[in-house]
Structure 1
Amino acid sequence: MRKVVLWCLLPIALMGCGAKSEWASDEHVARMAYREPGPATLTLVTMINNRSGSGAHTGLVINASQRVIWDPAGTFKHARIPERNDVIYGVNPEAYNVYKSAHARETYHVVMQEIEVAPEVAEKAFALARANGPAAQAQCSASTSRILSQLPGFESVGSHLFPKKLMTAFGKLPGVKTDKIFENDAGDKATAFKAAQNYKPQTF
Structure 2
Amino acid sequence: MLRAVALALLLPVLAGCGADNVYAPMAEVERRAWQEPGPATLTLVTAISNRSGAGGHSALMVSGSQRVIFDPAGTWHHPTAPERGDVIFGITPTMYDFYIDYHARPTYHVVTQRILVPAATAERALQLVQAHGPAGKATCGQSVSGILRELGFTQVRRAWFPDRIMRDFDTVPGVVRSEIFDDTVDEHSPERSTIQAINDDRIALDG
Counterpart contact for 2:102–2:190, Cα < 8 Å: no
Alignment pair present for 1:151 and 2:151: yes
Query: Is 1:104–2:104 an aligned residue pair?
Result: yes
Judged with a 3 Å threshold, the aligned counterparts in structure 2 of structure 1 residues 192 and 173 are, in CA distance, closer, same or farther, namely farther
Per the alignment, in what secondary structure is the counterpart of residue 155 of structure 1?
A: coil
The equivalent residue for 1:62 is 62
Task: Indicate the residue corresponding to 1:189 in structure 2.
Answer: 191
Offset at 1:89?
0.1
Deviation sequence 1:46-77 (CA, Å, 0-9, x none): 00010111110000000011100000011111
Which residue is equivalent to 1:177?
176
Number of residue-to-residue matches in the alignment? 179
Distance in 2 (alpha carbons) for counterparts of 1:185 and 1:119: 37
Indicate the SS of the match to 2:155: helix
The answer as to whether partners of 1:102 and 1:193 remain within 8 angstroms in 2 is no
* Range with bigger deviation, 63-72 or 16-25: 16-25
Please say if 1:34 is aligned against 2:34: yes
Distance 1:133 1:89, change over 3 A: same
Work out the CA distance in 1 between the residues paired with 2:68 and 2:169.
Answer: 19
Q: Using the TM superposition, give the Cα deviation of residue 156 of structure 1 relative to its aligned residue in structure 2, in angstroms.
A: 2.3
Structure 1 stretches of 4+ with a deviation exceeding 6 A read none
Q: Cα RMSD (Å) of the superposition? A: 1.9
Cα pair distance change 1:39/1:18, threshold 3 Å: same
Q: Is the 2:22–2:86 Cα contact (8 Å) retained in structure 1?
A: yes
Q: Following TM superposition, by how much is the alpha carbon of 1:193 offset from its aligned partner in structure 2, in angstroms?
A: 11
Query: Equivalents in 2 of 1:181, 1:136: separation in Å?
Result: 27
Q: How does 1:116-127 map to 2 (within 5 A)?
A: 116-127=116-127
Verify: 1:165 aligned to 2:164, yes or no.
yes
TM, length-normalised to structure 1: 0.83
Task: Give structure 1 stretches of 5+ with no counterpart.
Answer: 1-14, 195-204
**Whole-Å separation in 1 of the counterparts to 2:195 and 2:42:** 27
Q: How big is the shift at 1:188?
A: 6.5
Contact 2:60–2:144, Cα closer than 8 Å, also in 1: yes
- CA gap of 1:146–1:26, structure 2 versus 1, over 3 A, is same
Shift of 1:131: 0.5
Equivalent residues of 1:47, 1:56 under 8 A apart: yes
Q: Any idea what SS the aligned residue of 1:148 has?
A: helix
In 2 relative to 1, CA 78–175 (structure 1 residues): closer, same or farther, beyond 3 Å?
A: same
- Asked whether the equivalents of residues 80 and 90 of structure 2 are also in contact (C-alpha less than 8 Å), the reply is no
CA distance in structure 1 between the partners assigned to 2:75 and 2:31 by the alignment: 23
Alpha-carbon separation, structure 1, partners of 2:115 and 2:193: 33
> Unaligned stretches of 5+ in structure 2?
1-14, 197-207
Residues 145 and 158, structure 2, Cα contact 8 Å, conserved in 1: yes
Over 3 Å counting, the alpha-carbon distance change for 1:66 and 1:77 in structure 2 is: same
Structure exhibiting the larger radius of gyration computed from Cα positions: 2
Secondary structure at 2:128 match in 1? helix
Contact kept? 1:85, 1:133, Cα under 8 Å: yes
